Chain A
Amino acid sequence: MLSPWFLCRNEDLKEMLESNKESLKLEAMKRIVGLIAKGKNASELFPAVVKNVASKNIELKKLVYVYLVRYAEEQQDLALLSISTFQRALKDPNQLIRASALRVLSSIRVPIIVPIMMLAIKEAATDLSPYVRKTAAHAIQKLYSLDPDQKEHLIEVIEKLLKDKSTLVAGSVVMAFEEVCPDRIDLIHKNYRKLCNLLVDVEEWGQVVIIHMLTRYARTQFVSPWREDAVFDENSAKAFYDSEEERRVDQSKPYIMDPDHRLLLRNTKPLLQSRNTAVVMAVSQLYWHLAPKHELSIITKSLVRLLRSHREVQYIVLQNIATMSIQRKGMFEPFMKSFYVRSTDATHIKTLKLEILTNLANEANISTILREFQTYVKSQDKAFAAATIQAIGCCATNISEVTDTCLNGLVLLLSNRDETVVAESVVVIKKLLQTQPSQHSDIIKHMAKLFDNITVPMARASILWLMGEYCEHVPKIAPDVLRKMAKTFTDEEDIVKLQIVNLAAKLYLTNSKQTKLLTQYILNLGKYDQNYDIRDRTRFIRQLIVPNEKSGALSKYARRILMAPKPAPVLQSAFKDRDRFQLGTLSHTLNSQASGYLELSDWPAVAPDQSVRNVEVVEPVKETGAPALSKSKHFDAVSWPVCVSLQASSPVFVPETSHELLHRMTGKGLSAQYRFTRQPCIYGNSMVSLQLTLSNSTDQALENIHISEKSSTGQNIHRFNAIERLEPQASVTVSMGVDFNDSTQAANFQLCTKEDEFSVSIQPAVGELLLPITMSEADFTKEQGKLVGMNESSATITMTPENVSSQSVNRKVVSVANLGVIPSGQENIYRFSGKTVSSGSLVLVSVVLKDPDAVITINTEKTVMGSMLLRQVKTALTNSGP
């Protein structure tokens, strides 16, 4: 398959990749990416490329990632070699590296690593950086498509991420929701209002996805605003939050829109001004499907504006307008001229514009439209001219006042020089005449005269059918036409032949005196025709109309069968039934259900409980820690890098438990709780970061809450800024930092209010005095080798069986101590590393499983801390339970 030339090039690439020079490697990777882009196979280089996955050069690394994602599926075994690099990178202090590691790891479609991916996603979903969390949301979809069995676990992650307040995450997680569990509408309830309020600030692509999801949601949760007697109370939304219970939507009462419904409409409206056409279309379809009919008009202008955009955008927008204009002419009528056709438009755009103009036609504007159509009929684009004739036919049937004008116009076109135009006119005239044949015998005569000059089969067939159907109106001409046809029968197209037979039969029944012989002659010709359809038809007709001894009862009814009054064809828009699809979707464009299309449900008759969307005002403290940071909206972009450079690695696990600092009884109504956030402290490198939640359970406001200057034990404490006033029943969360000096000695200080002083103390667990760091397995062993002798303490324990799995060992250890997990090559050895907060001494923990025993070893210079930590890890691992 490969040319020898390619093989030799391949060889030199391999050499370049294996050289020591970064620049050569980069050059090689660039050429390989060029090969991939051209679609050439470069999979043989996999072993050489994958070695560079841990390269320090960021551009080289990125190109290796590109390669890996492309070929990992084909080279699964080799791809596994790269996994540990990504696992390490997942703990990198730089959020860009963490995110890109997760991106690539989740893009490698190798089923074996599903558990690793799952773990990585769960971890990233609680990452401090919203960018990493966004990547996690994307990874959810990838994992789901790789292994749909993970659905339940993934839904848990989605549920967690849906609660995220960052605008960065919102679009991505809703996308994951749509892909993984679009039917779990219950997950949306609590987040509905938040999503509505965030919407304006979400990036444009996320907006589209969220709007489509909310459209579906709203159709299941609110009652229809489309009732005739509806009363619309704009102000009700404002009053909503005070008097929720009073509002009950009832069938008998006048319609009042659910305030949440109004919230959605109000918050999406500004997006009609977006520069992104997909957003404008999404809002338009939301209004179309959800808004009261009289509010629909606001989307018109924006949709018309989109017509100025690219050809492809026009195509989609025009399609949607075509569907809308069938139901609601009024919306687009003032903008009729925007749909005028230019000679430079593409054919499918022209046809769509024509469709819309036809839909918009009414008694008032029909003369303008017809004048415009006259220009189009003359167009050089003959397919378009033909479509215009059809459109004229449509207008003629829909608006009875102009039927005659249209017919006369069409008859004039019969003498047009172009075949297609004439043919189309004949077909349309035929349809029109069927609706009112009696008055138009002169038109039929005119067509008979033109018959000789018309060569398009469809047109000839149509005229013949007309002759036969209305032969009684033109008794002189019809037999003559039949005579001519008898002569040319053998040269005609099949559809024409069928109509000749048809005409003959009808004339035989009405005027057998003149046409008996002609008919028999034609039937004989048909009997020996090459086409079996024609032979069949001839046989059938003969049996039906020529009575003989064998013919059954049917021939008695021949006249009634053939000359039965036929219903006129209905000329209607091709977009008539498109409204069964949600506007703006692919299915609507194709007019057939695309895979993965989610149907819009009908409005419920009675609104489901609205209180499900209520959210408690006080948010529980988030387990990700540092809730202030996760609100990226209020967070200044500039301060990010500062925070990142401080942290050695993000904590693997942050416990939710908070400890009591001050009970409300002793604190005279003021209670305080603290928890360790396990984040690097922003007040000082040697401090442990703490979060304090102060609550006021009295019925009076507490003023000036602060920590007094004097500290009894001499620890360095960074106090929180004094809280000037804490309202009754309110609570506030503040952060502070304490330098425990690497000892578990309690920090004692005074918590003061305006009136009182309370002595409190914080007793840290030894595990909280650490910060996680990442290192490679080799570094770990090296460092461990240096810290032996009295720096090492170890113990052997018997593990409870449920603790033996790798996940539970990891979880247990990181829950007692703030340590980083080191990716391990061996299955039965677990390694954790960290440093003490104050002095930065290394703390290394390893757990070696030897069924059923386990050996815990702790290496650190701080021997006291080491032994205390050992005790705690021991208890954690021997205890069963979570």
Chain B
Amino acid sequence: MIHSLFLINNAGDLFLEKHWKSVISRSVCDYFFEAREKAVEPDNVPPVIRTPHHYLINIYREKIFFVSVIQTEVPPLFVIEFLHRVAETFQDYFGECSETTIKDNVVIVYELLEEMLDNGFPLATESNILKELIRPPTILRSMVNTITGSSNVGETLPTGQLSNIPWRRAGVKYTNNEAYFDVVEEIDAILDKSGTTVFAEIQGVIDACVKLSGMPDLTLSFMNPRLLDDVSFHPCVRYKRWESERVISFIPPDGNFQLMSYHISAQNLVAIPIYVKQNISFFETGSSGRLDITVGPKQTMGKTVECLVVTVHMPKVVLSANLSATQGTYNYDPVTKILLWDIGKLNPQKLPNLKGSLSLQSGAPKPEENPSLNIDLKIQQLAISGLKVNRLDMYGEKYKPFKGVKYVTKAGKFQVRT
């Protein structure tokens, strides 16, 4: 299936290659570079590129292109999903997935890639299994290893690999047994000029951090499970129980993982926490324009809106911005043409406002369209859909775990058209 993998950075340097079958010359990447050049923006590179003898399937993540070489028919999503899994594994192992960390840990990267694929077919992709085969680097361990000469490579087959719960290793022990769940909801919305909602939906995930000894069997139930429109689960969740009882029953992996993701679609009324009053205009003459943005709270359920950021992708002709903000700081980058206004906490008594003039390239025609605003925000202690966890029960183990649930609402792809 997957023949070879090349890692290429944003500048077009090929800095790592790995082959699972016969070696394929790196010149095959020339086709990729060609497409990359044509696309201008890295986001616009087509994920599937055809060359005379091979097919290149690539993903772009953390400023790195993961380019895989395929020779025969294969579901493209299979490869794409796997490449993302590789990137996630790197992130998991090294804290971040960047060119520097990959180069610094090239041996572990190679060992990981070797375990993850055999002859191009995924072998071990579960983080719990991989961590037993190849231990993640820590400063302490690398010190100990250099002194004692012991290695990072496990000698026995991971217990998970053979059982029917491959995501959990056997013999987990903690002195403090705890299970934390984060309900994170993101609002995807498009608001039009007048502030009416064109489209809105909520995407939620429940991230878990479970550190429990032994083989705990957990059941998580909601106050209002009917809210959830469409769900997808970690493989550990018993789908049958969800179907029949609307509870989430599972034996958790050890450590951090995403338990489920859900979707609350536009049909249900989605609360929009803020409103934006904006006026951006460009004058026919004088090569200038005016900008005036005010943000105010709308349906916040009594909570404070934090980390409020407004991003505007200005038209190419905007040279500079001379603005004044009543709250927070703003910054206009004339190279990327991005105006970033970092507001911070939203104070309902004194609404933040950004006002001033824009100067345009002289002689150029005024832009056709006003730029749209992208909003970023965060509301602690609130799941905007109203979803509430009812209780968490544990079976199979005797100790009493410490449990906690946290709610956060964020803006996802939240866009205001102007």
**Chain A residues in contact with chain B, CB under 8 A?**
22-23, 26, 30, 33-34, 36-39, 57-60, 62-63, 65-66, 70, 73, 94-96, 99, 103, 106-107, 109, 129-131, 135, 138-139, 141-142, 145, 167-168, 172, 175, 200-201, 203-205, 208, 212, 270, 273-278, 280-282, 301-302, 304-305, 308, 310-313, 315-317, 335, 337-338, 340, 342-344, 346-348, 372, 375, 378-380, 416-418, 584-587, 589-590, 592, 594-598, 632-633, 635-638, 640-641
Most buried by A among B14, B77, B123, B413: B77
Distance in angstroms from A300 CB to nearest chain B CB is 10
Main secondary structure of the interface of A (DSSP, over half): helix
Which residues of the other chain, B, contact A204 by a CB distance below 8 angstroms? 125, 235
B330 → chain A, closest Cβ, in Å?
20
Q: Which stretch, B20-28, B175-183, B379-387, touches the partner chain A?
A: B20-28
- Which residues of chain A come closer than 8 Å to B76, judged between CB atoms? 316, 584-586, 589
Contact A416 B122 (CB under 8 A): no
Known contacts A310-B59, A340-B190, A597-B73: does B155 contact A58 (CB below 8 Å)? yes
Which of A145, A172, A276, A633 has its CB near the most chain B CB atoms (within 10 A)? A276
Whole-angstrom CA separation of A749 from B274 in the bound complex? 85
Q: Given the complex of chains A and B, what is the CA–CA distance between A422 and B188 in angstroms?
A: 33
Contact A208 B78 (CB under 8 A): yes
The B interface is mostly helix, strand or loop, or mixed, namely mixed
Point out the residue from A70, A167, A310, A641 that lies within 8 Å of B164, measured CB to CB.
Answer: A167
For chain B, the count of residues having a C-beta within 8 Å of the partner chain is 100
Among B41, B146, B230, B417, the one with the most A-chain Cβ atoms within 10 Å of its Cβ is B230
- Which chain B residues lie closer than 8 Å to A167 at the CB level? 164
User: Would A275 and B266 be within 8 Å (CB), given that A590-B48, A594-B55 are in contact?
Assistant: no
Q: When chains A and B are docked, how far (Å) is the Cα of A734 from the Cα of B266?
A: 60
Does A205 lie within 8 Å of B122, measured CB to CB?
Answer: yes
A377 to chain B, nearest CB (A): 9
Given contacts A305-B261, A584-B77, 6 further A-B contacts (CB under 8 A): A34-B106, A39-B26, A138-B121, A304-B230, A317-B77, A416-B368
Is A282 within 8 A of B151, CB to CB? no
Residues of B within 8 A of A138 (CB): 118-119, 121, 123
B73 and A586 contact, CB distance less than 8 A: yes
- Could you say which of A62, A275, A276, A635 contacts B114, with CB atoms under 8 Å apart? A62
Which of B80, B122, B153, B231 sits near A310, CB closer than 8 Å? B80
Judge whether A342 and B73 touch: CB under 8 Å.
no
Please give the distance in Å from A594's CB to the nearest CB on chain B: 5
B110–A33 contact, CB under 8 A? Answer: yes
Given contacts A23-B149, A39-B14, A138-B118, contact A275 B233 (CB under 8 A): yes
Given the complex, which residues of A lie within 8 Å of B199, measured CB to CB? 337-338, 340
Q: Which residues of B contact A (CB under 8 A)?
A: 1, 14-19, 21-23, 26, 41, 43-44, 46-48, 50, 55, 58-61, 70-78, 80-82, 84, 106-107, 109-111, 114, 118-119, 121-123, 125, 146, 149, 151-153, 155-157, 159-166, 170, 188, 190, 192, 198-199, 201, 203, 229-235, 239-240, 243, 258, 261, 263, 265-266, 313, 315-316, 365, 367-369, 371-372, 374, 413, 415, 417
Contact A62 B111 (CB under 8 A): yes
Distance, CA A57 to CA B50, complexed state (A): 43
Q: B162's contact among A73, A130, A145, by CB below 8 Å, is which?
A: A130
Q: Is the CB of A273 within 8 A of B239?
A: yes
- Residues of A within 8 Å of B110, CB to CB, are 33, 36-37, 66
Q: Are B18 and A275 in contact (CB under 8 A)?
A: no
Provide the bound-state CA to CA distance between A633 and B166, in Å.
11
Q: For the complex, give the distance between the alpha carbons of A109 and B119 in Å.
A: 12
A311 touches B60 (CB 8 A): yes
A280 to B74, CA, bound (A): 15
Can you list 28 A-B contacts with CB-CB less than 8 angstroms, sorted by A residue number?
A: A23-B146, A30-B107, A38-B17, A59-B152, A94-B155, A130-B162, A131-B162, A138-B118, A203-B166, A204-B235, A205-B125, A277-B77, A278-B78, A304-B263, A308-B203, A310-B84, A311-B60, A375-B192, A380-B369, A417-B368, A585-B73, A585-B75, A585-B76, A595-B71, A596-B72, A598-B73, A637-B160, A637-B163
Q: By the criterion CB–CB under 8 Å, are A107 and B119 in contact?
A: yes
Given A103-B118, A302-B230, A305-B230, CB of A378 within 8 Å of CB of B73: no
Q: Which residue of B lies closest to A301 (CB)?
A: B230
